[in-house]
């Protein structure tokens, strides 16, 4: 990893929940020594990517990040075109809906819409989604570039008792997703949350991200699962279309088989 990459990677540790970070804390989070981290912070500060709060002396994202974000959205529009499909998805499922995008080997949060029906609901408060533990990340492993698996296997952090923490369990989970067309994370990142996702494609025809629904586990029933999957398909088609892409026929086939199989299982139970 180059010095530039290491410096820019520090930006990923900032989030809405952790808007300001001190030098010592950042060293612990990034698992780097103080001298190197300080040198990288100085370089980022000179470039405007971060700034130091004069009151707290902690670091926060700088104006250059905002400028780049605005330029990105203006030239490669993504967020605005997800708003209506996400609102429809949240309203029809009653759960929190969100969209992630794949950039390089990382999955970033793009937009979210909270459940309009329930006071107790999933809260999307992370900016980078673990590949091995979230529905969005697992969806990327199943339908994104093959080299993502190597990245995921390099960091199998345990979040809950059901998190995939071995190569075999992770590969089994990904293979199951490839058979249904839906990413699935059953209490693997948070013990009280179950998630489902569907892949998104852009004008390149390649995997671009995922649209997901995060449900409070105590509300997650077979009926709700079916409803979520049906509306995830609609949202995935709409957002992919807005991004200039289409859903590959093989994934449409997986969805159809998955919904039919679930319906047949419910009818005989």
pLDDT value of residue 119: 72
The H or E element that residue 195 is part of is strand 193-201
pLDDT in tens, the chain (269 residues): 578 888 888 988 888 778 899 999 999 988 899 999 999 999 999 999 999 998 899 999 988 888 887 787 777 678 889 999 999 999 999 999 999 999 989 999 999 998 887 777 788 888 899 999 999 999 999 999 999 999 999 999 999 999 999 999 999 999 999 999 999 999 999 999 999 999 999 999 999 999 999 999 999 999 999 999 999 999 999 999 999 999 999 999 999 988 876 544 444 44
The dihedral through the CA atoms of 107, 111, 117, 118 has a sign that is: positive
CA angle 87, 90, 96 (to 5 degrees): 120
Which regions of the chain carry the CATH code 3.30.450.40?
A: 76-268
**CA–CA distance, 67 with 70 (Å, rounded to integer):** 5
CA angle 129, 30, 58 (to 5 degrees): 100
The dihedral through the CA atoms of 28, 30, 35, 41 has a sign that is: negative
Architecture label for domain 76-268 = 2-Layer Sandwich (3.30)
- DSSP letter at 77 equals -
**CA distance to 40, 109, 264, per residue, from 199 (Å):** 35, 14, 24
**CA distance to 68, 110, 187, 223, 253, per residue, from 127 (Å):** 17, 8, 19, 30, 31
Show Cβ contacts of residue 80 under 8 Å, excluding neighbours closer than 6 positions: 73
**Which residue, among 69, 188, 79, 86, has the nearest Cα to 139 in the 3D structure?**
188
Any idea which residue has 């570039």 for tokens? 145
Q: What is the CATH number of domain 3-68?
A: 1.10.10.10
Decide: 99 and 210 in contact? Cβ < 8 Å.
yes
**CA–CA distance, 115 with 96 (Å, rounded to integer):** 4
Any idea which residue has 């499909």 for tokens? 85
Which regions of the chain carry the CATH code 1.10.10.10?
A: 3-68
* Residue 169: Cβ within 10 Å count: 14
């Amino acid at each position: 990893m180059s010095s530039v990459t290491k410096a820019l990677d520090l930006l990923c540790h900032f989030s809405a929940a952790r808007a300001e970070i001190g030098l010592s804390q950042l060293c612990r989070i990034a698992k780097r020594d103080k001298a190197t981290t300080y040198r990288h912070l100085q370089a980022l500060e000179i470039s405007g990517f971060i700034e130091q709060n004069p009151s707290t002396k902690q670091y926060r994202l700088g104006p250059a990040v905002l400028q780049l974000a605005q330029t990105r959205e203006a030239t490669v529009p993504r967020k605005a075109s997800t708003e209506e499909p996400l609102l429809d998805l949240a309203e029809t499922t009653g759960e929190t809906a969100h969209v992630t995008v794949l950039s390089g080997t990382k999955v970033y949060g793009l937009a979210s819409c909270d459940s309009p029906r329930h006071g107790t609901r999933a809260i999307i408060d992370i900016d980078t989604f673990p590949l091995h533990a979230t529905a969005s990340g697992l969806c990327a492993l199943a339908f994104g570039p093959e080299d993502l698996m190597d990245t995921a296997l390099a960091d199998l952090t345990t979040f809950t008792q059901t998190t995939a923490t071995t190569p075999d369990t992770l590969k089994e989970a990904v293979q199951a997703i490839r058979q249904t067309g839906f990413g699935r994370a059953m209490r693997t990142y948070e013990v009280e949350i179950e998630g489902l996702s569907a892949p998104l494609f852009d004008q390149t025809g390649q995997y671009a991200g995922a649209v997901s629904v995060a449900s409070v586990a105590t509300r997650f029933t077979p009926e709700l699962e079916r409803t979520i999957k049906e509306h995830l398909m609609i949202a995935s088609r709409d957002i992919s279309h807005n991004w200039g892409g289409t859903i590959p026929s093989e994934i449409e086939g997986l969805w159809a088989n998955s919904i039919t199989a679930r319906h047949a299982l419910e009818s005989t139970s």
